[in-house]
Structures are given as structure tokens and as C-alpha cells.
Amino acid sequence: MLELGRGALSKMGARLEQPVQYSLRLGEQDLDLNGLLGQGIRLEYLGAIHCSHCGRKTKKSFSQGYCYPCFSKLAQCDTCIMSPERCHYAAGTCREPAWGEQFCMTEHVVYLANSSGAKVGITRASQVPTRWIDQGATQALPIMRVATRQQSGLVEDVLRSQVTDRTNWRAMLKGEAAPLDLAQLAGEIFQACQDGITALQERFGLQAIQPLSDRALVQIAYPVLAYPAKVASFDLEKTPVVEGTLQGIKGQYLIFDTGVINIRKFTAYQLAVHQL
């Protein structure tokens, strides 16, 4: 058994190629994952979690990799990150105004994607196409440019009256979603939601919320040799040793012949990786 690396786990690095090129991040080390497809791999949780922000040892990970004190004080762990329409920066109560300026008061993209079916989502413009890859989308189409994160959340709230903002991760891991005409779907959604969009434009200004009609559809292929017939998920807290033949990588999941594991869920866990 050959040790490939050990250290604090981070979400997988991904580069948009055909297929997506993945790396497993262990501390400062990046392991090429595509080259390990079809081989036996062993992941061993070493029993320690160190906060991804301050490095403090913690018994439990909060919000994917933080100790409780950091979870309680950092803006990136506030409830408005999951519900951006609840942003309270303008009220002067942001936990970290400088962080909010950099990450929230910046251009965002509203998009349609196809992972387990059509969904609407938002992301910082700088996170295109990473966000789509992390969700396991096989198709993605930017449909609006929005000036801030809060505004993008308000737009998403309007649009999700017509299309879900959720990904069925089990369905996503069972195979490729049937292709969709996302441009046509966008037109239908805009027509149905015109009143809500117009109201937001009147509130924030036409320049703040702009539909996009000239963006190309992005097609994404993943390095998968075989999809599981039944999706069984590993939990490192319950099963500290996970091993099997690596059959694929999609979203932030490793697909083994023995089950699947969400790498992002275990951010900051100390891990050793071996090749069998």
C-alpha cells in the first residue's frame, strides 16, 4: 500500500476541461485524481479536525470546516450566506464589513443549470464555472448579471417560483441528466416572472439587474467510468476508513465501487490517502 499524501482536507480543485480535471487537496499538497481512476484507493480519517480558518483543533466541524468560535463570528458563516436575500450589510450589522465588501458587494451571476434536472442558482462572477462543476451540472447558462449578492438572492427568490434551486444529489450521482434547452427555459421563466424582475429593477436600478441574452451554453463532462446503481454515502465519523476502486468524480463526490463520499462535507478533517 502506497501513501499518496496526508493533511487537512479541502474541497477538490477542479479545472474545466473535457472531462473536468480534479485534484484532492491535503494541506499544501494537490493529488491528481483523474490519473487514479480505476485504481484502488483508501481514505483514512486520522481522528482530528483543525479549523480551516484559525487552525484550532475542534471536536466538531461547523459549516464545513470551522470551529464553533469562528462559525459564530465569521461573515462567511452567517445565515445570509445560505439565504443571500437576508443580507444585512445595509443595516450596518455585517459581522465583517470588509469581507462583505469583497465577497458580497460584487458582481454576481444568476444561472440555470442541469445537474439532476433544471435548477436556478447564483454565484460570484469570479466563481464561474467552478460553482457549476461543484454542483455536478452537465449544462449551465448564465441568464442575469446582478450587482450584489443580496440582489442576486432576491432575483433567485423570484425565479424559483418557476424552477427549483435544489440539486437532487442522489440522482446526479446515478448518471447524466437528460439534455435540456436552457435558453428556451430561461425565456419561459422570464416571461412568467416579469413583474417580479421589473419590481427589483425599479428598486435597485436597471444597471444593477440585467438579463443576459448573449451567453453561450456551457457543457461539462465528468471523469466517470461507471455510475452506481444504488447510491450509498460514506460518513468518516462513522466509517473512518473508506476504500474501494475509484470509478468516478462528479461535483464534489468521489464515486467508489463501494459507495460515494462528499469531499467538501469533510473540509478540515485530517486525512491520509493510500493507493492499494
Q: Is the pLDDT assigned to residue 250 strictly greater than 90?
A: yes
Residues 141-152: pLDDT tens digits? 999 999 999 999
Instruction: Tell me the pLDDT band of 133, cut-offs 50, 70 and 90.
Output: very high
Give the number of C-alpha atoms closer than 13 A to the C-alpha of residue 113, restricted to the C-beta side.
29
Q: What is the DSSP string of 153-209?
A: HHHHHHHTTTS-----HHHHTTSPPPP--HHHHHHHHHHHTHHHHHHHHHHH-TTTE
Strand-pairing partners, residue 14, are: 22
pLDDT band at 115 (very low <50, low <70, confident <90, very high): very high
The pLDDT tens digits of the residues spanning 191-209 come to 999 999 999 999 999 999 9
Average pLDDT estimate for 4-20:
97
Output the pTM of the full model: 0.95
Distance CA(10)–CA(250), nearest Å, equals 16
Q: Is the pLDDT of residue 137 over 90?
A: yes
> CB–CB of 260/254 below 8 Å?
yes
Closest to 271 in 3D by CA, of 259, 258, 257, 254: 254
- The mean pLDDT value for 61-76 works out to 96
Mean local confidence (pLDDT), 219-231: 96
**Percent of the chain predicted with pLDDT > 90:** 97
Closest CA to 85 of 163, 148, 162: 148
pLDDT over 90 (residue 31): yes
User: What is the pLDDT confidence band of residue 214, given thresholds at 50, 70 and 90?
Assistant: confident
pLDDT at 213: 87
